[in-house]
Amino acid sequence: MRRYALIVTAVAYVWPTTPLLQLRAALCVVLLAAMRLLNLAVPILYRDVVNTFRRGGTPAPAPTAHGGPAHRRCVAASTCCTAVIRV
């Protein structure tokens, strides 16, 4: 509790005394927490959308360095970006 003693003391001076302002401040804190959660969830939702659209097709090959052994394998399998794209 000693770690947060300064914060608790400061909030006592800053927190509004009227009920209407307390409600508005609490609403702002709730909206801030919701914004943080939404900001965390957006990349996860984008991943799910992309996976849903890709579910019917073949997965794209993993990115490879051009000229390395992995690149030679993907060229041989005709799945590289420099190979002919099959539809």
DSSP track, 11-23: HHHHS-SSHHHHH
User: Which residue, chain included where needed, has tokens 């702002």?
Assistant: 28
Tens of pLDDT along the chain (87 residues) come to: 688 889 889 888 989 999 999 999 999 999 999 999 999 989 888 888 788 778 765 545 555 555 555 556 666 655 555 544 444
What are the tokens at 5? 């003693």
Q: Are 82 and 49 in a shared domain?
A: no
Q: Name every residue whose Cβ is closer than 8 Å to that of residue 71 and which is 6 or more positions away in sequence.
A: 64, 65, 80
Q: 42 and 14, same structural domain?
A: yes
What is the pLDDT, as a whole number, of residue 85?
A: 47
Task: Count up the domains in the chain and report the number.
Answer: 2
**52 and 76 fall within a common domain:** no
7: domain range? Answer: 2-56
pLDDT of residue 8: 87
Distance between CA 28 and CA 68 in Å, rounded?
53
Q: What is the pTM of this model?
A: 0.48
Task: Name the DSSP class of 39.
Answer: H
